[in-house]
Amino acid sequence: MQPRTEIRRLSQHGTLAHASEQMAREVLASIPLGRLKSELSSELLHVVHSVAYAPDDRFGTLKGKLSFDYALALVRGKHRIEPAQIRQSWAAAPAGLALRTYDSSEIAKIRQHGASFMALPWPTLSTVSGRSQTGKTVFRPANQIPADLNKLCDEVKKMLRQPRHGGALEGALVAAHFKQNFIAIHPYMDGNGRVSRLMAERILHEFGLPAPDWSQGNFDLNLGVEDAALLILQHLPKAPANPAAPGYATVAHLPS
């Protein structure tokens, strides 16, 4: 069993999540400058995710329980979940009629992990004004994820191999291309935004640019690449991490 301090250090939620993100930045910083164009891969993304969004975290904000979506993700091969987490989860008993989206083999797989199901149906979310349901964004089908991730990595590596013509916008466009497409692919049940920001920061570093202040911009997943790139530039710090970064001074002249 992990020491409690280790579990807290790897927390996925709250202020302690910052420590996990910093650990992931250290992983990315270990890649020498100029090598990302050959080392970017889905395997690297999975490593970054596993560090930035620790798989052995016990979801303290949810009192040690997993959501139904995580149980569903396990059987659909979209997110790795430790068997012990499934055994702790009340959520193997899904809300509403969501169980109907399982097939018999998926139900068997969850039961193999030690989970059981409660009686159905459960009600939808109840409010003072009556029953209601909340909408959510629908991402690409899970069975396309491996191919989509590989394609995105290949696209970005090709961009990084192109001759540099100078200008901060060049780096921001590559970072935005990765970030917006990665979010659209949405390979993980959670932690996608975290990984997209970390990788965008590492791509910007290839161009001698610092990380933007992500908290200041509305980096909506529906933004086009060009708009996301301009937003990245608008929220770069005033002084570059690399004073020799070509074109960095143009950031000051972008519209706010």
Binding positions for ATP: 190-197
Helix 68-75 and helix 104-112, axial crossing angle in degrees, nearest 10: 110
Measured distance CA(56)–CA(2) in Å, rounded:
9
Annotated binding residues, written as ranges, equal 190-197
**Whether residue 186 lies in the annotated active site:** yes
Q: Is the peptide bond before 255 cis (omega within 30 degrees of 0)?
A: no
Residues 75, 80, 84: CA angle, nearest 5 degrees: 90
Which is the catalytic residue, given 186, 205, 235, 253?
186
Residue 51 has a CB neighbour count (10 Å cut-off) of: 21
- Helix, strand, coil fractions of the chain, as percent rounded to 5: 55, 0, 45
- Known catalytic residues are 186
